Amino acid sequence: MHVEQLTCSIGAEVSGVNLGDAARDDALFDEIRRLLLKHKVLFLRDQDITRAEHVAFARRFGELEDHPVAGSDPEHPGLVRIYKTPDLPNDRYENAWHTDATWREVPPMGCVLRCVECPQVGGDTMWANMSLAYEMLPAEIKARIEGLRARHSIEASFGAAMPIEKRLALKAMYPDAEHPVVRTHPETGEKVLFVNAFTTHFTNYHTAQNVRFGQDANPGALDLLRYLVSQVYIPEYQVRWRWKKNSVAIWDNRCTQHYAVMDYPPCVRRMERAGIIGDKPF
């Protein structure tokens, strides 16, 4: 195994490893898990593995989850197919900085994403280190957001383009989740800035310390949320990965955000992702 760090803040490329083998080898899997906690996202090339091996490897981290909007492979539940073709419109959600499924009460622990087919140029994906984003916040901002909580919504994102009946049914199935603005990573103990494109508003901002009059509530909270969400845009927190067929990315969804760059239409881009059930943020 060879490990090459890709940036000073996030990401490493791992070579000399087959994930099909890692699905069966405890020591090899444990080393990959250790590297993931250290680098937050791992990249591998030339992973000519089967869907069954893809699912088996991801299941070493935990049970897999389906997505209520994106379709899964019928023979491999939990393997979500993210297929883009010239005939299908952009879904407007991948090409935004986000942490997967924070609209769930229990968001995914992480994901294993494999490229099946991609454009010759374009279609990169970027990741950002949200532990570092929190660490670098000014002290006065850290003090302001300590104890703050926020809502995350599938209705306001995936549901927004649906007819009202489908949108309301989706919200009934997945009511807006509430999470801490700063979560604690359950394995490393790091503090993580935990707001993203699915975050709609703070739920406990309206206190005497923050609001003098009711008129203060919305502008004050919105400005603060906009500032926090914007931290992911800082290049020093990011890594960018260029896909090739059979490339794989493994990321820790608890402490990262990612952005799929849609600069490739009218090309075909087919990705398959196994999302791993996580734990309730605290």
- Angstrom distance (rounded) from CA 281 to CA 247: 30
Over the stretch 251-265, which tens digit does the pLDDT of each residue have?
999 999 999 999 987
The answer to whether the CB of 167 falls within 8 A of the CB of 155 is yes
Strands ordered across the beta sheet of 177-180? 177-180, 149-152, 199-202
Give me the pLDDT at residue 88, please. Answer: 73
Confidence bin at 7 (pLDDT 50/70/90): very high
Mean pLDDT (whole number) for 205-214: 87
Evaluate the omega torsion of the peptide bond into residue 68 and state whether it is cis, within 30 degrees of 0: no
pLDDT score at 248: 98
Is the per-residue pLDDT at 76 higher than 80?
yes
**Tokens representing 203?**
């739920």
Catalytic residue among 54, 60, 76, 100: 100
Is residue 162 pLDDT above 70, yes or no? yes
**Catalytic residue (one of 54, 104, 258, 269):** 258
Mean of pLDDT values over 206-234: 90
**How confident is the model over 156-167, as a mean pLDDT?**
93
Tell me the per-residue pLDDT of 58-70, one tens digit each, with 9 for 90 and over. Answer: 999 999 998 887 7
Q: pLDDT digits over 101-143, tens only?
A: 999 999 999 999 999 999 999 999 999 999 999 999 999 999 9
**75 has a pLDDT exceeding 80:** yes
pLDDT band at 86 (very low <50, low <70, confident <90, very high): confident
pLDDT level of residue 89 (50, 70, 90 thresholds): low
Q: Is 67 a catalytic residue?
A: no
CA distance 88 to 274: 22
Given the DSSP bridges, would you call strands 79-84 and 191-193 parallel, antiparallel or unpaired?
Answer: unpaired
Are 255 and 189 a contacting pair, CB within 8 Å?
no
Position 212 scores a pLDDT of 82
Structure tokens at 57: 């490897």
First to last CA, the chain: 35
Neighbours of 261 (CB within 10 A): 13
| For residue 182, pLDDT beyond 90 | yes
Name the active-site residue from 60, 76, 98, 151. Answer: 98
Active site (annotated) includes residue 201? no
Q: What is the mean pLDDT of the chain?
A: 94
Between the alpha carbon of residue 260 and those of residues 146, 151, 185, the distances in Å are 30, 23, 24
Whether 56 has a pLDDT exceeding 70, the answer reads: yes
Q: Is the pLDDT of residue 27 over 80?
A: yes
Average the pLDDT over each of 4-13, 14-23, 72-81, 242-251 and give the range with the smallest value: 72-81
- Taking residues 275-282, what's their average pLDDT? 97
Active-site residue 273, yes or no? Answer: yes
The pTM of this model reads: 0.95
Residue 92 has pLDDT above 80, yes or no: no
Whether 98 is a known active-site residue: answer yes
d(CA 10, CA 170): 34
pLDDT class for 49, splitting at 50, 70, 90?
very high
Q: Is 35 helix (H, G, I), strand (E, B) or coil?
A: helix
